Amino acid sequence: MIVLIIVLILVALVVGDALLIRRLRRRRRELATRTRSLVPEVLVTKVASRPDLNDIETLERRLSSSRSIFERVRALSGVGALSREQLDVVEEVLLRSDIGVTTTNEILAGLVVNGAPSGIASALRAALLSSLSADRSIRTLASPGRVPVWLFVGVNGVGKTTTIGKLAQRHVNEGRRVMLAAGDTFRAAAGEQLQQWATRTGSDIVRAAEGADPGSVVHDAIGRALARGSDIVLADTAGRRANSTNLLDELSKIRRVADREPGEVIETFMVLDATTGQNALSQAREFQAAANVTGIVLTKLDGTARGGIVVAIERELSIPVKYVGVGETVDDLLVFDPRNFVDSLLDA
C-alpha cells in the first residue's frame, strides 16, 4: 500500500513537472515572437539568412571561378627547389589569373631563390600575402563638428550604386544613421535606384531632378545630415566615360564642395569592376588624379576567374583594396581580407 502511494506521488510529480515545463516553454515562445515582431520582418529574415562570407567555404564557393584557375598550383607536390616545369605552371596560373607581369616575375624570382620549404602552394600563399600588405583601415569618423562623407567614383555600370546600398545596410547594422546623396543626376533612373536602397535599408536620402548640379545635391545632403544628426553621408556620382575631362572636372568640383565645412570627405572610393580585368586598371589611372582616391571597392569578383586582378590593382596603383563585392544582394560585400582571399584560392 505504502509503495503504491509513493509510486502515485512520484507519477503526480513527474506529470506536474512536465506540464509546468510545457507552460514555461510556451510562454518563452510567446515572448520571443513578441520581441521579434518589434523588428521589421524583412530585417529578421535578412539576419537569419545572411551568409557569413568570412567563412572560408562560403568564400570559396563565391570565388569558385578564380579558385579553379589555381587548381593546378594546388596539385603541385614537393618541397625545396622547384623544377622548371613547376615554375612554368606557377607562372601560367599567375598570368591567367591577371596578377600582372610585374608581380608574377617578382613572385617567380622569389620562388627560385627561396624554393618552397613547406610546399609550393604554401610558398605562393606567403608571396601573395606579402604583395597584399597595404594599410586598409577604413575611416568612419570626421573631425569634431564635421559630417563624415564617403564619396564613390567610377565609370558607369561598375557597381557604385549597388555598393552604396550594401554599405548603407552595413552602417545601419552597426548602429549608424545614414544619409544618401543621389549625386548621379545624369539619368533619373539613377536617383530612383538609390531611393530603393534608401527605403530598403532605412536610410535618408537627398535627390534632385535629372540634370541638377550634383555638387548642390551633395551639399544639401550634408546640410540635412547635420540637421538630422546622421552619422555618415554616402555620396553617389555619375560615371560617364572616364576619358571625358568633363566628368573628371565635375568630380573634382563635387569633392571640393563635399569637403567644405561642415562636410569632410574621409574616404573616396573608386569602384572597379573585376570582370573588366586590365581595363579596370586603366580606368583607375584616369580617375586617380582627379578624385584623390583613398580606397578601392572591387566589385563582381564572383563573376570572374581572374581574381588575381586584386593584386595587380593594389600594387600598380598603390591604393588599398578595402571592400570586395561577391554578388548582387545586400549582404554580398565584404571588407577585403587578404588572408581569407588567398586561402580561398590556395587551400587544399
Ligand X SMILES: Nc1nc2c(ncn2[C@@H]2O[C@H](COP(=O)(O)OP(=O)(O)O)[C@@H](O)[C@H]2O)c(=O)[nH]1
| C-alpha span between 306 and 137 (Å, rounded) | 25
Closest separation in Å from C-beta 125 to ligand X: 24
Kindly tell me which residue out of 219, 255, 300, 322 binds ligand X, with binding defined by CB under 6 A: 300
Query: Is residue 244 within 8 Å of 192, Cβ to Cβ?
Result: no
Partner from Mg ion, ligand X, none binding residue 300, C-beta < 5-8 Å depending on class = ligand X
Kindly tell me which residue out of 296, 326, 330, 334 binds ligand X, with binding defined by CB under 6 A: 326
Neighbours of 152 (CB within 10 A): 26
Kindly tell me which residue out of 157, 189, 192, 246 binds ligand X, with binding defined by CB under 6 A: 157
For cell 571588407, name the residue. 335
Helix orientation angle between 214-228 and 245-258, rounded to the nearest 10 degrees: 20
Partner from ligand X, Mg ion, none binding residue 66, C-beta < 5-8 Å depending on class = none
Kindly tell me which residue out of 121, 123, 158, 310 binds ligand X, with binding defined by CB under 6 A: 158
Window of 11-19, 159-167, 216-224, 288-296 that interacts with ligand X by CB under 6 A: 159-167
Partner from ligand X, Mg ion, none binding residue 328, C-beta < 5-8 Å depending on class = ligand X
| Residue 162 binds ligand X (CB under 6 A) | yes
Window of 18-26, 52-60, 185-193, 242-250 that interacts with Mg ion by CB under 5 A: 185-193
| Residue 156 binds ligand X (CB under 6 A) | yes
| Residue 160 binds ligand X (CB under 6 A) | yes
Contacts with Mg ion, 186-225, as mask; x by CB under 5 A = ----x-----------------------------------
Window of 64-72, 135-143, 205-213, 297-305 that interacts with ligand X by CB under 6 A: 297-305
Residue closer to Mg ion (CB basis): 152 or 341: 152
Query: Is residue 192 within 8 Å of 330, Cβ to Cβ?
Result: no
| C-alpha span between 136 and 143 (Å, rounded) | 20
| Residue 328 binds ligand X (CB under 6 A) | yes
| Residue 161 binds ligand X (CB under 6 A) | yes
Alpha helices in the chain (DSSP H): 2-36, 41-49, 56-62, 64-69, 71-74, 84-96, 101-114, 120-131, 160-173, 188-201, 214-228, 245-258, 278-291, 309-317, 338-346
Q: Which three cell numbers stand for residue 234?
A: 554616402
Residue among 179, 227, 186 at smallest CA distance from 205: 179
| Residue 268 binds Mg ion (CB under 5 A) | no
| C-alpha span between 150 and 346 (Å, rounded) | 34
Residue among 271, 274, 269, 268 at smallest CA distance from 312: 274
Residue closer to Mg ion (CB basis): 128 or 235: 235
Q: Which three cell numbers stand for residue 95?
A: 598570368
Closest separation in Å from C-beta 311 to ligand X: 18
Site for Mg ion in 136-165 (CB under 5 A): 160-161
| C-alpha span between 296 and 247 (Å, rounded) | 19
203 bridge partner residues: none
Partner from ligand X, Mg ion, none binding residue 214, C-beta < 5-8 Å depending on class = none
Residue closer to Mg ion (CB basis): 86 or 156: 156
| C-alpha span between 92 and 104 (Å, rounded) | 9
| Residue 239 binds ligand X (CB under 6 A) | yes
Residue closer to Mg ion (CB basis): 97 or 161: 161
Length of the chain: 348
| C-alpha span between 254 and 268 (Å, rounded) | 11
**Residue, CB closest to ligand X:** 325
Give me the residues that bind ligand X (CB under 6 A), please: 154, 156-162, 239, 271, 299-300, 302-303, 325-328, 332
